Structure 1
Amino acid sequence: MYLVSGLLAAALALVANAAPAAQGQLQKVNGFNAGPTKAGMYIYVPSKKATPAPIIVAIHYCTGTAQAYFSSTQYANLADQKGFIVIYPNSPSSGGCWDVASTASLTHNGGGDSKTIANMVDYAVQNYGGDADKVFATGSSSGAMMTNVLAGAYPDIFKAGSSYSGVPDGCFYVPGATAGQATPGWNNECSGGRSVKTAQQWGDLTRSYYPGYNGTRTRMLIWHGTADNTLSYPNFAEALKQWSNVLDVPFTNDVANNPQSGYTKKVYGDGTKLIGYSGQGVGHTVPVHESVDLAWFGL
């Protein structure tokens, strides 16, 4: 079952650590009906918006909502300072989880929640002055899974991503899972850290979701805590293997106590395409590091 106690605990922890209020209000975009699923589009547009405005898509966890992720993270506060737009998708499933299990959602232009979110980006570009060349994704738990899915299926849209305590792209695939179903599938093998592949196998899986794509791939930050009992820590290594192969960057070195004490920064290549952050003793989920994300996004 997708709605598990660990995810609920993570949701409550995020809400308990609510960020200071943004200057403006989160708006529901009633005019967005581009589907194919019924995910809701919520948006934060700062009063001093850049022209055109970069877009961050901030994706909530299971049991969460767009409003909860708006309130518990600082992306909107930082948008007030820097002028970017934040899209907060709202899951259509009864448990608040994202469809990262169906063939449709895992495939470029195949449908599912991933296509709905991609359509939200297009809507923001067309109607809110968003910059199609500066689009980024981030999320926690189920939102982290969707961040990886978007990076794999829509690298033509998303320039960089930051995934907090998720799993590799495609790891949650469940045969027969249907896009738009009330409760997306749960994959125990993946969540338990038992889905182990070679880097080439993971990379081939991601490439299969957008056959023939030869453009620039999404740059990735991968965050995970060693004490994660919901989406087990081995998923960290598997995700790094995957993106190392997709982005064609080998592991270079570790940096201790970065970005803070107890974390290890794992650098791949020259550090411009892939970085991992391992939090010693950190559970589910890793606290959001907005300033690190913005530096990664170039904002």
Structure 2
Amino acid sequence: MPATLLATLLAALLPLLGATVLTAPTAAARESNRDSARDSAREKAVPTATLTEVTNFGTNPSNLRMYLYVPESVTPNPAVVVAVHWCTGSGPDMYNGTEYDTLADQYGFIVLYPSVTRSSKCFDVSSPQALRRGGGSDPVGIKSMIDWVTRTYDADTGRVFATGISSGAMMTNVLLGDYPDVFAAGAAFSGVPFGCFATTDGSEWNSACSGGTVTRTPKEWGDLVRNAYPGYSGPRPRMQIWHGTEDDVLRYPNFGEQIKQWTNVQGVSQTPAATDTPQSGWTRTRYGGTGDQAPVEAISLQGVGHNLYAHGMASRVLTFFGLDKPGPAPQPGACKVSAAVNAWNTGLTASVTLTNTGTTTVDGWKLGFTLPAGQTITGGWGATYTPSSGSVTAANVSYNGTIAPGASVSIGYQAGHGGNSAAPAGFTLNGTACATG
């Protein structure tokens, strides 16, 4: 080939080769570009360590305002806490009146403060639109705020939580009912059950509910929650409930009705698995588990009125959420349990296999379950079992306390029965619901 022709071909090919290299960066370069773009998005979002209003965050049918607190030490894939204010309050009031921002500085999560603009400054927890998934009103606007945060900060969608005071506590119940696939847990201070405040005449207030005269069976309360998202069969958020015995705004019977509702939703016994007094005048009951992340936890404050929230309570909320320690809290779906029963006339033997389906090692475990009525454990292996009937906790023994990702442990027990020899219907690992099968 003549030298002049070769030179001409090379001159034509070199720009094409260069263009090919420029349009096909290495995987490392692509990852670096994504990281840079994410960092740039964060920088353009909101200033850190200060409360900032965000506008144009998405669908917002009831004209809510959105305030955000992002700590300087925000972690990669941060958790999100939605902190919902009381009637006559606002997002900035919730920010100033609670310590979630300082706790965010310590643990690296993001705090979202929705804020009502209607004249009452109360959240809509009563309209038909608010009490169904995607129906409209305040829950839809709050969901848009969460979506904005998770997009902008690459937040962990498995660690989104809600907490609120009074009207905000009622909204916490509503959010967990409407969006069980969004929230991992909630904490309600002086609230009422999901659907208790329902009205059809446009009124924001339900006197029967506030007066504590609305009572239902656990199943009826649970059905109200389940009907908010028909067909949903996934895990349900855990719930922490706080109430003062002398509440004269949202009367104390609402405390017990919330317990009935959320134990039914979780599928756990209404008989407490544990009862203690964490502080003078407080009675704490846990349902479906005995640990800090039980499916339902309820704290009754003797002699305390409606305005029960006080400094220090937010730290207890974070413990329930699992945000007071490094790393993500265990979420529903991080464990699987299978159980088989071999029964005879008045007795049975149950074999239980617990599998860690998460990505981190379980170091120390307590498996919670409720025995069917009439069953009493008479002996067991692989764990210590307390108590012998009702809501039982099986705790690891010295040789099987660690379960690596993908690994399993097998335990079992003997029990007497009065005719019902079925296996437990549900299980929790360290207070978090497990898949079964």
Fold shared by both chains (TM-score > 0.5):
yes
| 1:89-108 correspondence runs (5 A) | 89-108=114-133
Q: Work out which of the residue numbers 233, 238, 242 in structure 1 matches 2:261.
A: 242
| 1:26-41 correspondence runs (5 A) | 26-41=51-66
The runs of 5 or more residues in structure 2 that have no matched partner are: 1-47, 324-437
**Partners of 2:58 and 2:144 within 8 A in 1:** no
**Partners of 2:274 and 2:287 within 8 A in 1:** no
The alignment's TM-score, normalised by the length of structure 1, stands at 0.88
Equivalence for 2:148: 123
Equivalence for 1:279: 301
Distance in 1 between the 2:216 and 2:268 partners?
A: 17
Q: Work out which of the residue numbers 67, 76, 88 in structure 1 matches 2:113.
A: 88
Equivalence for 2:14: none
Q: Do residues 293 (structure 1) and 317 (structure 2) align?
A: yes
Equivalence for 1:67: 92
SS in structure 2 at match of 1:211 = coil
Tell me the alpha carbon deviations over residues 16-62 of structure 1, each in whole angstroms, 9 at most, x when there is no partner.
xxxxxxx8210000232421220111000001111111000000000
Distance in 2 between the 1:176 and 1:214 partners?
A: 32
Distance in 1 between the 2:274 and 2:319 partners?
A: 19
The structure 1 segments of at least 4 consecutive aligned residues displaced by more than 3 Å after TM superposition are none
Equivalence for 1:205: 224
Tell me the alpha carbon deviations over residues 152-211 of structure 1, each in whole angstroms, 9 at most, x when there is no partner.
11000011000000000010000133xxxxxx6100000000001010110111111110
Equivalence for 2:277: 257
**Partners of 1:174 and 1:185 within 8 A in 2:** yes
**Partners of 2:87 and 2:167 within 8 A in 1:** yes
SS in structure 2 at match of 1:104 = coil
Distance in 2 between the 1:273 and 1:203 partners?
A: 14
Q: Following TM superposition, by how much is the alpha carbon of 1:119 offset from its aligned partner in structure 2, in angstroms?
A: 1.1
**Partners of 2:84 and 2:163 within 8 A in 1:** yes
Q: Following TM superposition, by how much is the alpha carbon of 1:129 offset from its aligned partner in structure 2, in angstroms?
A: 3.0
Equivalence for 2:44: none
Q: Following TM superposition, by how much is the alpha carbon of 1:92 offset from its aligned partner in structure 2, in angstroms?
A: 2.2
- AA aligned opposite 2:240: L
Distance in 1 between the 2:161 and 2:141 partners?
A: 15
**Partners of 2:66 and 2:112 within 8 A in 1:** yes
SS in structure 1 at match of 2:198 = coil
**Partners of 2:80 and 2:160 within 8 A in 1:** yes
Distance in 2 between the 1:256 and 1:128 partners?
A: 39
**Partners of 2:90 and 2:116 within 8 A in 1:** yes
Q: Following TM superposition, by how much is the alpha carbon of 1:63 offset from its aligned partner in structure 2, in angstroms?
A: 0.6
Distance in 2 between the 1:131 and 1:34 partners?
A: 21
Q: Do residues 45 (structure 1) and 75 (structure 2) align?
A: no
- AA aligned opposite 1:290: A
- AA aligned opposite 2:66: M
Q: Following TM superposition, by how much is the alpha carbon of 1:216 offset from its aligned partner in structure 2, in angstroms?
A: 0.6
Q: Following TM superposition, by how much is the alpha carbon of 1:128 offset from its aligned partner in structure 2, in angstroms?
A: 2.8
**Partners of 1:224 and 1:285 within 8 A in 2:** no
- AA aligned opposite 1:217: R
- Larger helix share, 1 or 2: 1
Distance in 1 between the 2:301 and 2:154 partners?
A: 37
Equivalence for 1:12: none
- AA aligned opposite 1:117: I
Q: Which moved more, 1:248-257 or 1:50-59?
A: 248-257
Q: Following TM superposition, by how much is the alpha carbon of 1:253 offset from its aligned partner in structure 2, in angstroms?
A: 4.7
Q: Which moved more, 1:140-149 or 1:286-295?
A: 286-295
Distance in 2 between the 1:159 and 1:286 partners?
A: 24
- AA aligned opposite 2:209: C
Q: Following TM superposition, by how much is the alpha carbon of 1:249 offset from its aligned partner in structure 2, in angstroms?
A: 1.1
Q: Which moved more, 1:65-74 or 1:249-258?
A: 249-258
The alignment's TM-score, normalised by the length of structure 2, stands at 0.60
Larger Rg computed on CA atoms: 2
The alignment yields a C-alpha RMSD, in angstroms, of 1.3
